[in-house]
Amino acid sequence: MKSILKSVVILFLISTVTQLNAQDLSARDIVEKSNNLFLGRSSVSTMTMSIIRPEWSRTFTMQSWSLGNDFYIIYITAPARDKGQIFMKRKNEMWNWMPTINRIIKIPPSMMMQSWMGSDFSNDDVVRANSIVEDYTHRIIGEKEIEGLNCYEIELIPLDDAPVVWGKVIMWIAKEEYFQLQTEYYDDYMELVNIAKGSEIEMMDGKEIPTLLSISPVDKPKNITELKITYQDFDIPSITKSFFSQQNMKRIRPRNK
């Protein structure tokens, strides 16, 4: 009997500590933890992006390499006319290697809100993966069940001097798993512009993540861009800052994954 009572007490204490740890996390902590879930310390991924329109659709395949949130390379592997094109992010700057003209082009600030590869993602979306943590204040404003998971509803308001385009962002993040399951983007007039959703939770290199991200503009709900992760490896020791250089953009080749 004493053994059973002791086990119950231990389980209660473990449960209490877990609850307290969860309560200790601030809204910013939750957003940062969720943001880091996809990339780890470093990662390599294979992805398919589908651009869907009422009259047509288009599909790309690509590989990516990342180091934290500040360094990122995307290599387009198909279709043939775009194969070999490379995009590189280093902190808040972005370059594009175009093999057809043998040139590296730096994406200027004036082009950051332009569509990336004709999709519903902008160049700014690609560059500012860490901005969602650094450039906003964060506040838990509620909760909601999405995809059967209890989620924090978190409001993000940009800092006064933040170089961001959104007037407000609202995210729904799973309480236990930290999956980003839905995000709404508002303009400076607080009008809803885009809705992004994460789904198809799968195991990738021992970590569960949403492997399908879809985004659609509110004023054109039939326009959809879907990004599907088909392979992802985390924490690659060989990926260092030196990997993300203009010289390497010309040399890099896709992995057989």
Which candidate, 75, 16, 127, places its Cα nearest to that of 251? 75
| Cβ–Cβ under 8 Å, residues 232 and 206 | no
Within a domain: 15: no
What does the block give as tokens for 134?
Answer: 């650094």
Within a domain: 2: no
Within a domain: 6: no
26 vs 35: CA distance, rounded Å: 14
CATH code at position 105: 2.50.20.10
Within a domain: 192: yes
Within a domain: 256: no
Within a domain: 8: no
**Structure confidence at residue 83 (pLDDT):** 94
Provide the residue type at 54 as one letter.
Answer: P
Q: What total number of domains does the chain contain?
A: 1
101 vs 225: CA distance, rounded Å: 28
Q: What is the pTM of this model?
A: 0.84
Within a domain: 9: no
Per-residue pLDDT of the chain (257 residues; tens, 9 = 90+): 544 444 433 333 334 333 434 457 999 999 999 988 887 889 999 999 999 999 999 999 999 999 988 899 999 999 999 999 999 999 888 999 999 999 999 998 778 778 999 999 888 777 666 688 989 999 999 999 998 999 999 999 999 988 888 899 999 999 999 999 999 999 999 999 999 999 999 999 999 999 999 999 999 999 999 999 999 999 999 999 999 999 999 999 887 75
Within a domain: 7: no
DSSP characters for 118-170? TSSSBHHHHHTTTHHHHSEEEEEEEEEEETTEEEEEEEEEE-TT---S-SEEE
By residue range, what is the domain housing residue 98?
26-251
